[in-house]
Chain A
Amino acid sequence: MNITRSMIMGRRIFKTGLTNFARNAWLGVAAMAVMVITLTIILFSIIANATFSNTIQQFTDKIDVSVYLKDSVSVSSRDKLITQIKNLDNVRDVTFISKDQALAAYKKQNENDASLQQAISQTDNPLPATIQIKPRDPNKIESIKQFLEKKEITILQSDKTSYSGDRKDAIDKITSATSFFKKAGIAGIIIFAFISMLIIFNTIQMAIFNRRDELTIMRLLGASTNFIRGPFIVESILYGVVSGILSIVIIKTIFTVSARAFEASSLGILDIKYSSNYFSSRFLMFLGLQLGVGILIGAVSSIIATRRYLKFKTSK
């Protein structure tokens, strides 16, 4: 078959598919509705996953171990301690906060509370110098803890070491919730993808049934399998395209509305502002993804739906 003829055939297949799509619009509504749900769930899961990961990262960054030093600790033993801590396995970063810096920070923090301001200005600086340790992995601070609980080190400390343990509990909870949502998301995607394939499958079978006389005639007149099948595949690919666009519109609308509703921008652990930015900055990629998945679901289910019908008789 030469190129001109292939082009003529391609154009005819596309045109017929488009006509059938318009003619079957009502039949296709169910197929498109469930496909929109599927695609929306997919996109929502991806964005939610990214948002949760971001939230966890933010919380993790806030975890630290604070070592409070007695005022009597000399500069040399202080530096020695810092070096020792830096050499520990699970330490990402060590910051030293002097008494003056601690005071300045405290003043800034409580700038609106006159009584607290007064309380410190009346006496000498009561705040201890602090060594802040950021662990590489907040779940494995045992090694740091062991080191700090050595006797020669505890005598340098003015107060007990702070491990921000309450924060760690919160992080553990978010982490396990995230992994649950991730699993639920994947299960949801699989289930809905399957359902939408079944419904498209049915829609195409119904369309085939409605046009069975025409298809029989086409077969008898010598139409090739691809020429008969093509319009059905075009039709279901169009379902995919429409559904992909609709799902993007839905997600976009949700962000627009929620951004207006929750000016505070953070709703518990779901950081809407972050989600919204994540979506906007990757808009084209997501549009491509939605169209791609929609087209794939449409094409695969219509290929399966038409395959059985278009077989030639093989029984002797």
Chain B
Amino acid sequence: MILLDRVTKTYNKNGQALERISLHVEPKEFVIIVGPSGAGKSTLLKLLTREEKPTTGKIIVGGIDYETLKDKEIPLLRRKIGVVFQDFKLLPNKTVFENVAFALEIVGMGNKEIHHTVPRVLDIVGLKGKEKRMPRELSGGERQRVAIARAIVRQPRILIADEPTGNLDPKHAWDVIRVLEKINRFGTTVILTTHNQEIVNKLKRRVITMQDGQIVSDRANAEYRS
């Protein structure tokens, strides 16, 4: 599903962000990426969504080779990948429903279908009945779940969640993780980055540890100590 082959990313001023990263993720896998700030986790995710281009190396996601990917095709790629951002990136002037519907509007889904799909997804993330709320009226955990609903509403084969629990208290953090597990059970590949040791240790999934732009360990059912 995801293949990185000796990927290096060098920024002009800040030097090396990623150094010869090789990584293979199978379909339906649940992968956790851990590591201190500046280890290169976010850069790695930005390469996957083609927000950044690798300096050298090969990236293939869902059969698409990024080297031959044209600018015009980038939107089509992004529609296949759901992304949950640490800062939610919700539209403040739109309701919960509209925020989720937005992801479908920009790909040209009809209004009827949108009204059918969005409530079902809001139900999955446990936000039934809050369709008309504005983001500012929601708690952090609820906002994050709106972001997850928006990321999965197009049924992507890959879901990338960048520190989705970073701003949440433990209870809400677990709500979010449970939703991610549920989505993974439905068959979506999940890539999760986090700082939270407790979550990592309880989930018992594949853990990739990064440091200084390199992968220092990659183990199944791993625990994590910072």
Chain A residues proximal to chain B, CB less than 8 Å? 1, 4-6, 8-9, 12, 213-214, 216-218, 220-225, 227, 311-316
Contacts and interface: CB of A to CB of B under 8 A. Distances in A.
A222 B54 contact: no
Contacts of A220: 49, 51, 78, 83, 85, 89
A221 B103 contact: yes
A3 B150 CA distance: 26
B137 interface: no
B105 to A, nearest CB: 6
A218 B71 contact: no
B15 interface: no
Contacts of A5: 108
A217 B53 CA distance: 19
B52 A9 contact: no
Contact of A312 (B54, B71, B79, B150): B71
A168 B102 CA distance: 72
A223 B75 contact: yes
Contact of A4 (B52, B74, B76, B110): B110
Listed from nearest, the 5 A-B pairs whose CB atoms lie closest are A222-B78, A223-B106, A222-B79, A5-B108, A222-B75
B75 A224 contact: yes
Nearest to A8: B108
Contacts of B75: 222-225
5 contacts: A5-B108, A220-B89, A313-B52, A314-B53, A314-B71
Contacts, number: 63
B164 to A, nearest CB: 15
A212 to B, nearest CB: 12
Contacts of B203: none
B108 A1 contact: yes
Contacts of B72: 225
B197 interface: no
Contacts of B138: none
B91 A217 contact: yes
B68 to A, nearest CB: 15
- Of B51, B72, B108, B150, the most chain A CB neighbours within 10 A belong to B108
B107 interface: yes
B21 interface: no
Contacts of A217: 89, 91, 102
- Of A5, A312, A315, the most chain B CB neighbours within 10 A belong to A312
Given A6-B108, A221-B79, 20 more contacts: A1-B108, A8-B108, A9-B108, A12-B105, A12-B108, A220-B85, A221-B102, A221-B150, A222-B74, A222-B75, A222-B76, A222-B77, A222-B78, A222-B79, A223-B75, A313-B51, A313-B52, A313-B53, A316-B55, A316-B56
A55 B100 CA distance: 67
